[in-house]
Structure 1
Amino acid sequence: MSIDRLRPGPRMSQAVVHGDTVYLAGQVADQAKGGSVSDQTKEILEAIDRLLAEAGSDKTKIVSATIYLADIATFAEMNAVWDGWVPAGHTPARATVEARLAAPAYTVEIACIAARD
């Protein structure tokens, strides 16, 4: 079974497709500086939509998501955006944790796994 790497870089690929499973790298906002948790979450979810489409999937097929917040106190703010994005009846298994992210400007990072069938 082949492994396809989408948008590969020297350290990681943005997505890896193996069979009918799509693994997305943790996504962060490109415009992180000065953006609120809501703004960063919206940008990340748009990036996830694009990557999943490129891999032949979509958000209704996400089976698992892990959300990292720089400050767990922003949980409700992030959820307000997430809840408006995830389709009813297609909510994935999900974990949300507080973590120190790669740069202080990042307030949210989201990684997910989706099916293609």
Structure 2
Amino acid sequence: MNQITRFGAGPRMSQAVAYGNLVFLAGQVALRAPGASIAEQTADILAKTDELLAEAGSDKSKLISASIWLTDIATFNEMNAVWDAWVAPGNAPARACVESKLAAPQFTVEIAVIAGI
């Protein structure tokens, strides 16, 4: 039977959950959000994503899927510049990117990924 392993577990949610050969990351937002540009927030999120994937025994070369929420779709190209520099060459995941309100006004981007282990 496959074991479920939770990382950064709190009363409401876990930051990541590993099950079988997959790891599911919760939607990540920037730690330095207030006053940060979309590029800075995206870089912050992707650094946090790297840390969580490593903790679960994975890395960005094993991405399967990514969901990205932007508060303003006009920032799509700025976010993509950071994303494109980060994603492992030849290992781009299936991806969706939409405009949406986020949990708090200081957040301009949120990213959730699923990766293999």
- Using structure 1 for the length normalisation, give the TM-score: 0.98
Gaps of 5+ in 1: none
Q: Which residue does 1:2 correspond to in 2?
A: 3
Letter in 2 for 1:93: A
Identity of aligned residues (%): 62
Q: Distance in 2 between matches of 1:59 and 1:33?
A: 26
Aligned to 1:26, the other structure's residue is in SS state: coil
Q: Which residue does 2:112 correspond to in 1?
A: 111
| Runs of 4+ deviating beyond 3 Å | none
Q: Which residue does 1:43 correspond to in 2?
A: 44
Q: Distance in 2 between matches of 1:97 and 1:9?
A: 27
Q: Which residue does 2:13 correspond to in 1?
A: 12
Q: Deviations over 1:52-104 (max 9, x none)?
A: 00000000001000000000000000000000000110000000000100000
Task: Count matched residues.
Answer: 116
Letter in 1 for 2:99: E
Tell me how far 1:10 sits from its aligned partner.
1.0
Letter in 1 for 2:110: E
CA RMSD of aligned residues (A): 0.4
Q: Which residue does 1:34 correspond to in 2?
A: 35
